[in-house]
Every structure is written in structure tokens, then in C-alpha cells.
Amino acid sequence: MSEVHLELTNVGIEFPTPRGPFRALRDINLKIDQGEFVSLIGHSGCGKSTVLNIVAGLYEATEGGVLLDGREVNSPGPERAVVFQNHSLLPWLSAYENVELAVDQVFKKSKTAAEKKEWIEYNLKLVHMDHAMHKRPDEISGGMKQRVGIARALAMQPEVMLMDEPFGALDALTRAHLQDSLMEIQKALNNTVIMITHDVDEAVLLSDRIVMMTNGPNATIGEILKIDLPHPRDRLALADDPTYNHYRSEVMRFLYEKQRKVEH
Amino acid sequence: MNPLKWPTIEPFYKLVIGENRKGQLNAIVKMVGLPLTGIFVFLLIWQGAASHIHTSLGQFPGPQQTYEQFVSLVDEAKASSLKEQAFYERQYVRNEKKLAANSEAEVKVRDYTGPPTFFDQIGRSLVTVISGFLLASLIAVPIGIVIGLSSNAYAAFNPIIQIFKPVSPLAWLPLVTMVVSAVYVTDDPMFDKAFLNSMFTVLLCCLWPTIINTAAGVATVTQDLKNVSQVLSLNWWTHIRKIVLPCSIPMMFTGLRISFGIAWMVLIAAEMLAQNPGLGKFVWDEFQNGSSDSLGRIMVAVVVIGIVGFILDRGMLMIQQAVSWDKSATLR
């Protein structure tokens, strides 16, 4: 399991603006193993989403590059599925049809119609959405939409799953529920996941490693914290666990002492 | 779909089965009573005003005279249709006789050439406006999509569209007429030139609102959805079909309805100006005719033009409701 799956080498990016180039990121070096769950945490504006978008291929790095299994990443593709912050489901398609669009695209020839149907239903069941799979996004709650978004990403059978604050817009209870689902699924399928989060508890609970980023502009990786807690993790049991709380305070210290955000 | 649940039928149905009688009566008064009252008040004002306007062709027609002229137009149409039938019967009998005398005889089948009735003119105008509109939409929607997709294409086309948009299509009419007569030269024309003139004039006015609104609709596709499309690696055609089209349909239909409305107005004027058969020509002919019935007949045409325009717009609305994914959006 120690073979490097995804590798970011000296990644940096500059955006052209009318007032000259704006440097968002520099010197991002990160190696991620197959099946690893990595969180990116940092204050807003630190370029977390930019890192994710570069891995997704939606942005092109101006320096350095990304290798996935030794191949260079330079355009978006379904092997790097993205779960977007605001679900980004097509509002005119039902949950089933949203997943179907992805499945039709990825398994165009490799699955028969019946196999596709089964696979779509399997993935919706995985996120506990099988009861409402023929509802449209405007007929289901925010948490349910995000579940469908995750099902869509899982259904692409991605090599890396990229999650951009997937639970940011949800209430605390729904979020906890979805985190548990995500842990379960990730351990079962052994997906490689990069997740952006603002939430310290979420990061410690879910991750194998937490990548903490310095403040932008010109942001880079500040510290990487390895979370050595056994799986499966139980949020109640961990609440009083000294190791868990230690990791938690490490992240907090980084965010609120070393990288205190200066509000303008 | 259950017809008993249709908003126009439901209150009557509920009234009959006795569900919340008072509420249903209120609903019916609002749905039927108020519009009828409005129409009645309008007719009164019309009648009152008409009786005070005296023209060189006599009194301005009120509702009563207009209705009488309508009846007379219906009668004329019936008479003309009888004449036409009689003509074909005579021709048939004559030809049969010829053939009976000599089976080798050459028989001629001629078309009836009576003057078009009022209803022929309506049909003619409808065919012209619909074909011009459809052809324009076939051109404008793809252009609008291309322009909406790319800001470069938008920058390139926008000045041209902005310049041509405010031009009254009637200004094109002389040019269209000359071009059609120069270019469309065949011995066996499928369409007559008058039809083509009106149709191309309609087409020219239908292009711009459709292009602009389609482009604006395409531009409403959010970056999020574009990202989804990119991550899925959708090809261009699937991207258009699955993401761009559903997203832009509401705006596209706004443009199509504006176009259709303008087209109907422009067509009547074009027919008047160019003497192309249709409702406009009917109005013009009656005006030139100058009999005591003329104003009444023109008034019939005015009302009919309004009603047809209204029906066309409702038709577009129904198509929009059928193809739009968001059935809950209010359409008006």
C-alpha cells in the first residue's frame, strides 16, 4: 500500500489579472498512497480549492505537475471524480439520471444497459438514496443532494475522489451522518480521497493525513499531520480520546496560532 | 393527466360534486366572470365611441356592424366554396363526356381560380408566418448557442446583431423583393414569389430576438455545471444536449415568443405594403374598395388578427411548458 498513487511535485500557479499576475500557490509537494484519505485544511483564500482543481485538471499548474500512477494530469477526466461543494447536480435530471449521465460516459461500452442500471442503483444504495432515486434535485434536501453527488462520483469508479468541502453547506447532524457514510464507503471500497474542509473535527475524524496550508496569496503546505487512529473510527468513543484531542489541538494550533488569519 | 384537474375545469367539476361550493363559485367568477365583464365594458366603450365617429365611408363600425360583417364574410366564404365545388363538378362531367365519346381525348383539369375568401387569407397568412418563423428559428437557435458558448464568438457577432436588431424588417422588404425576383427563377416554381417575399421578411425579423435570447440563455450555464461536464469528459454534442439546451430553454423560448409576436405584426404590414396575399392584403383591399361595408370588414380583420396572435402565443407557451424541465416555473 506504500506505492505512490498520486504525486504533486513543485506545483505552483499564477493567475493573470489586469494588475499583473497573481500568485496563488507555490511549491506544493505531496505524495498520496492508494487508499489514503487526505484532508486539506486552511483558512479561506489559502488556495485549497485551487490545489483540488489542479488535481482535477480544471486548472493547469503554471509550475510543476501532477502525476497519477505515473501519468501526467493535464485535463479533467472521470478517473479523478469531483464532489462539488454545492452538489452541482443537473437540476433537470432525477437523482438516477444524474448518476446515469456519469455511468453512460464512463462505461459507454464496457457495461450492458442492464449492468449500467444495476451499477447506478448499487451506487445510489451505497449512499442510502435508493428510496428517492427518481426525484429531482429540487425535490430533495441538501444532504440528499450531496449524497447523490457522492454517488455520482463513486459511480465513475474513480482512481482518486476529490471532494471540495462536500459537507460545508449542511447542518451539523446531517453532516455527521454523511461523514459516517463516507467513512464506511471509503473503507469498503478503499478509494483514494482528497477532501477540502474547514472543519477541524471532520479532518481529524476522517483523514489518514491532514495537509495544513499557509495563508494565501503565495500559499503552500505548512505542516502535514499523520493521524494514527485505528479504523473504524467512532465519533463518540473518540470524543474523550486523548490522542484524538491531541491531533485536534495540533490542527487548531496551526490554524489559530501559526497561521492566524488577519481579517482586513 | 386527468382533465378534471385542469385549472379551467376543476372548479366546475368540484362545484358539481359539491366540494366547497362557495370557494368554487369565487374561483369561477374570477376565472370567467371578470374577463367577461372586462370584455363587456370594452364593447360598451367601443359602441359609444364608434357612434360619435363619422368618416367619409360612413359611421365607424361598432361591435354590432363588425359582427354583421363577420357573418357576411362567412356567407361569402360558403358561397365561394359552393361555387368551387360546382366548378369541379362541371369540369368532371365535361371531361367524362369527352372521354366517353373518345377514350383517346385529351382532358384538361384546371384549378378553380375564384378570388380568395377572408378565410383563405387567414390561412395564407398563417402558413407564411409559421414557415418564416420556423426557418428563422432553425437558423437562429444554433447561432445563438454558438455565440452563447464562446465569449469570442459573442464579441464578434454582437455588433452586427445589435445593429440589425432595431431595423424594421419592412425596410428590408424592397430588397427582399428584388433579390427574390432576381434569384428565384424557375419555370415550375414550388412557391410563388409573393409568398417568398413575405416569408423572408418575417424570417429577417425573427432572427435577432431568438439569437440574442438563446445566447443569453446559454450564458446562464453556471461554471459548476461546466465543471461537471468537463470532469465527465462529455463530448461537445452531449454537453449541448444534456447541459446547455435544458439550461437555456426558458430564455430561448422568451426569444422565440418575442420573435413570433413581432413576426405576426410585421407580416400584416408586409402584406399590405407588398400586396402579398394574406390578411394584410385583405385590409388594404377593403381600404381601397371604400364601400360602406369596408370599415366593418377591416374591423373584423383587426379582431381576427388579435385573436390569431393570441392563439399563436398560447401555442408557443404550451410548447414551452411541454419541453421545459421546470414545470413549476410560472409562465405568462
Residue A105, number of CB atoms within 10 A of its CB: 18
Determine, for residues B231 and A77 on separate chains, whether the beta-carbon distance falls below 8 Å: yes
Q: Measured between beta carbons, which residues in chain B are less than 8 angstroms from residue A81?
A: 231
B141 and B219 in a common domain = yes
B314 and B229 in a common domain = yes
Looking at residue B185, its pLDDT comes to: 79
What is the distance in angstroms between the Cα of A76 and the nearest Cα belonging to chain B?
5
User: Is the Cβ of A78 closer than 8 Å to some Cβ of chain B?
Assistant: yes
Element (H, E) at A246: helix A242-253
Rounded CA gap, A42 and B198, in Å?
66
Nearest chain A residue to B244 by CA distance is A90
B38 and B159 in a common domain = no
User: Is the Cβ of A84 closer than 8 Å to some Cβ of chain B?
Assistant: yes
B186 and B298 in a common domain = yes
Determine, for residues A76 and B231 on separate chains, whether the beta-carbon distance falls below 8 Å: yes
| Residue A11 confidence (pLDDT) above 60 | yes
Determine, for residues A82 and B227 on separate chains, whether the beta-carbon distance falls below 8 Å: yes
Convert the pLDDT of each residue in B23-62 to its tens digit. Answer: 888 888 888 889 899 999 999 999 999 888 888 888 888 8
Determine, for residues A80 and B231 on separate chains, whether the beta-carbon distance falls below 8 Å: yes
C-alpha distances in Å from residue B213, one per residue of B165, B216, B251, B255, B327: 12, 5, 6, 5, 20
pLDDT, averaged across chain B: 87
Is B332 a member of any domain?
no
Convert the pLDDT of each residue in A165-218 to its tens digit. Answer: 988 878 888 888 889 988 988 888 888 999 999 889 999 999 999 999 998 788
CATH of the domain at B215: 1.10.3720.10
Determine, for residues B242 and A90 on separate chains, whether the beta-carbon distance falls below 8 Å: yes
B46 and B193 in a common domain = no
Nearest to A78 among B224, B233, B246 (CB): B233
Convert the pLDDT of each residue in B57-105 to its tens digit. Answer: 888 888 888 999 999 888 888 888 888 888 888 888 888 888 888 877 7
B255 and B130 in a common domain = yes
Q: Measured between beta carbons, which residues in chain A are less than 8 angstroms from residue B243?
A: 90
Is B63 a member of any domain?
no
Is B100 a member of any domain?
no
B177 and B281 in a common domain = yes
Strand order from edge to edge, sheet including A71-72: A20-33, A4-17, A63-68, A71-72
Q: What is the mean pLDDT of residues A145-173?
A: 89
Q: How many folded domains does chain B comprise? A: 2
Q: Dihedral through CA A192, CA A194, CA A195, CA A198, nearest 10?
A: 140
Looking at residue A1, its pLDDT comes to: 44
Q: Which of B221, B101, B1 is nearest to B10 (CA)?
A: B1
Rounded CA gap, B63 and B55, in Å?
17
Determine, for residues A105 and B233 on separate chains, whether the beta-carbon distance falls below 8 Å: yes
Is B61 a member of any domain?
no
Looking at residue B276, its pLDDT comes to: 83
Determine, for residues B326 and A92 on separate chains, whether the beta-carbon distance falls below 8 Å: yes
B272 and B179 in a common domain = yes
Contact criterion met (CB below 8 Å) for B264 and B129: yes
Residue B153: φ, ψ to 5°: -60, -40
Chain position carrying cell 404550451: B318
What is the distance in angstroms between the Cα of A106 and the nearest Cα belonging to chain B?
8
Chain position carrying cell 417568398: B196
Looking at residue A83, its pLDDT comes to: 92
C-alpha distances in Å from residue A80, one per residue of A54, A186, B150: 11, 15, 26
- The pTM (predicted TM-score) of the whole model is 0.81
Structural domain containing residue B202: 119-323
B247 and B170 in a common domain = yes
B142 and B41 in a common domain = no
B204 and B319 in a common domain = yes
Say what the ipTM of the complex is.
0.86
Is B38 a member of any domain?
yes
B150 and B294 in a common domain = yes
